[in-house]
Chain A
């Protein structure tokens, strides 16, 4: 059956190939070409500039700030989401009454639309009437400028992202914990190993591939972040939370500097490609 014609295989792949060609290959080629021109829309009336846009980007203060913000956000978000996910997974991976109900409840934020998530947290972060500051005032703690203090806005963004997506790392790590055979723990306990020792020399090493996968998936998504920034802070205050996606959006769709926005897009695609290579290597190693 496997020997049947290769033409048939290609035929079955054709619809997907056609969609990819029209929706990703062609656009990627076009954005690469546009990145070599000074233009406000397409190629008509555009001036060729070679790598000029790339050179200009790197001297652009806002581009450097957006790059830095993206790195800071990706590191903080990934670290806190893996940390929270791991804690939750360790808690739930045992005999707990009502476990059947606890797991879906924890997953709920993950299925919500980012716009719904943002709507809730914009209200919670409100300085005068927001739920968080009401709680702080009730506890006699001075209220916080969650979204308008440039030093705190990035942390607020991380809090929202962690609430929405720590459930994903939780599920990944719980799946990882559940494939560790019970006998391994029992043997260690017979040998007199304490809980800390067991965690360090059994749980962590066996969970390592899952931790890696969770961190990789979260950092890729954190690197792309757009909608939450758009609706929660708009990149502000000032440029305090402007990430690369937000920067590309402003350049391309607000200032119509399509050449420069395309160059920034290409840089993002290259970074995503490097992350994809890591992921592919991991998957290929896993399947062999």
Chain B
């Protein structure tokens, strides 16, 4: 829509900035509270910034082995992402480029969609039993595997669009030269798709980094907690660990907040251009 009068444009700009500030405020509060000494929690002040900043909450986290939890989160996020890409890329490629008997591809896509929409908790009981039977309960490996329930449908769905964008002509030219499928994938499809593969990897990594329900149900040893489960124990243990909670919340959010521009581009691409 056009801006209209300059007063109208001014009001629109002001309203937009106000909205942005409201969305940002809780995150700023978190950053500030991670530096606030506990004595200031109980003041009725609405000032965001602590009057005397302290690093004690970050020191307390170090004593709680926060680095170990972060490492668990990193291992699980990297593992789940690698597995999803390794299984999802060939599937997406085949679904776009190859012929399937009896509309199997369509059935598969509808199934992927159903999995994507299924509530994770409804699979929790049998998954618990599967992991126990495989002795993978309470292991990071088990978590990497069950995260495929979320991440694999997501990865396949996202990669489909990127495979479609690779011009068939490139591959046909290579085929004429006698290049095998493996060579075509390695020398043409993967390099052309690299930005799409990276985008998919980033989304899947954020998904795994933030996951909570399965981490809660399938991990019991505190030494194997991921960051979200560790945060949850702090939330429910004592309701006024705010400084520590904010400190860990801020640390856990920093890496993904740095990727926000990337996420914006990915989402806009996914939903723009006529809803693929």
The contact of A203 among B1, B125, B234, by CB within 8 Å, is B1
Residues of B contacting A26 in the complex (Cβ-Cβ under 8 angstroms): 126, 130
Residues of B contacting A234 in the complex (Cβ-Cβ under 8 angstroms): 236
Contacts A175-B272, A258-B125 given: A226-B91 contact, CB under 8 Å? Answer: no
Size class of the B contact interface (CB-based, 8 Å): 35 or more
Least distance between A53 CB and chain B CB atoms (Å)? 13
Residues of A contacting B90 in the complex (Cβ-Cβ under 8 angstroms): 12-13, 15-16
A286 touches B274 (CB 8 A): yes
Q: By the criterion of a CB under 8 Å from any partner CB, how many residues of chain A are at the interface?
A: 116
Residues of A contacting B121 in the complex (Cβ-Cβ under 8 angstroms): 224, 226, 245, 248-249, 265, 268
Residues of B contacting A249 in the complex (Cβ-Cβ under 8 angstroms): 121, 124, 217
Q: Is A197 an interface residue (CB 8 A)?
A: no
Question: Bound complex: CA of A244 vs CA of B19, how far in Å?
Answer: 32
Least distance between B119 CB and chain A CB atoms (Å)? 4
A88 touches B19 (CB 8 A): yes
Q: Which of B43, B90, B152, B275 has the most A CB atoms < 10 Å from its CB?
A: B275
A27 touches B123 (CB 8 A): yes
Q: Is B210 an interface residue (CB 8 A)?
A: yes
The contact of B271 among A114, A210, A279, by CB within 8 Å, is A210
Q: Is A204 an interface residue (CB 8 A)?
A: no
A280 touches B245 (CB 8 A): no
A30 touches B206 (CB 8 A): no
A111 touches B19 (CB 8 A): no
A167 touches B23 (CB 8 A): yes
A175 touches B271 (CB 8 A): yes
A119 touches B235 (CB 8 A): yes
The contact of A8 among B98, B118, B146, B234, by CB within 8 Å, is B98
Question: Bound complex: CA of A201 vs CA of B130, how far in Å?
Answer: 54
* B 187-221 binary contact with A (CB < 8 Å = 1; else 0): 00000000000000000001001101100110000
B1 touches A178 (CB 8 A): no
A163 touches B23 (CB 8 A): yes
Stretch of A75-83, A124-132, A150-158 that contacts chain B: A124-132
A42 touches B129 (CB 8 A): yes
Least distance between B244 CB and chain A CB atoms (Å)? 10
Least distance between A59 CB and chain B CB atoms (Å)? 21
Q: Is B263 an interface residue (CB 8 A)?
A: yes
Residues of B contacting A178 in the complex (Cβ-Cβ under 8 angstroms): 272
Least distance between A114 CB and chain B CB atoms (Å)? 6
* B 237-254 binary contact with A (CB < 8 Å = 1; else 0): 001101001100100110
Contacts A103-B264, A107-B263, A198-B1 given: A27-B127 contact, CB under 8 Å? Answer: yes
A24 touches B118 (CB 8 A): yes
The contact of A9 among B2, B29, B87, B94, by CB within 8 Å, is B94
Residues of B contacting A231 in the complex (Cβ-Cβ under 8 angstroms): 212, 232, 235-236
Question: Bound complex: CA of A139 vs CA of B97, how far in Å?
Answer: 63
Residues of B contacting A262 in the complex (Cβ-Cβ under 8 angstroms): 125
**Smallest CB gap from A35: residue in B:** B125
B111 touches A20 (CB 8 A): yes
Q: Is A215 an interface residue (CB 8 A)?
A: no
Contacts A8-B98, A96-B16, A124-B29 given: A115-B228 contact, CB under 8 Å? Answer: yes
Question: Bound complex: CA of A275 vs CA of B113, how far in Å?
Answer: 10
Q: Is A200 an interface residue (CB 8 A)?
A: no
Q: Is A46 an interface residue (CB 8 A)?
A: no
Interface residues of B in 217-232 (CB under 8 A from A): 217, 227-229, 231-232
A15 touches B86 (CB 8 A): yes
Residues of B contacting A96 in the complex (Cβ-Cβ under 8 angstroms): 12-13, 16
Q: Is B115 an interface residue (CB 8 A)?
A: yes
B125 touches A265 (CB 8 A): yes
Q: Is B63 an interface residue (CB 8 A)?
A: no
Q: Which of A10, A113, A227 has the most B CB atoms < 10 Å from its CB?
A: A113
**Smallest CB gap from A84: residue in B:** B19
B16 touches A129 (CB 8 A): no
**Smallest CB gap from B40: residue in A:** A129
Question: Bound complex: CA of A279 vs CA of B171, how far in Å?
Answer: 32
Least distance between A70 CB and chain B CB atoms (Å)? 10
Q: Is A51 an interface residue (CB 8 A)?
A: no
Residues of A contacting B245 in the complex (Cβ-Cβ under 8 angstroms): 119, 123
B100 touches A9 (CB 8 A): yes
Question: Bound complex: CA of A131 vs CA of B242, how far in Å?
Answer: 12
Q: Is B158 an interface residue (CB 8 A)?
A: no
- Beyond known contacts A16-B88, A113-B227: 5 more, CB 8 A cutoff: A26-B126, A138-B46, A195-B4, A252-B125, A265-B125
Ranked nearest first, the 9 interchain pairs of A and B with the lowest CB-CB distance are A265-B122, A27-B126, A12-B94, A9-B98, A175-B272, A113-B210, A16-B91, A15-B87, A12-B90
Q: List 7 A-B contacts (CB under 8 A).
A: A10-B94, A17-B91, A23-B130, A134-B45, A220-B117, A268-B119, A272-B117
B residues within 8 Å of A by Cβ? 1-4, 9, 12-13, 15-17, 19-20, 23-24, 26-27, 29-30, 33, 41-46, 83, 86-88, 90-91, 93-95, 97-101, 104, 108, 110-127, 129-130, 145-146, 148-149, 152, 156, 168, 171-172, 175, 181, 206, 209-210, 212-213, 216-217, 227-229, 231-232, 234-236, 239-240, 242, 245-246, 249, 252-253, 256-257, 259-261, 263-264, 267-268, 271-276
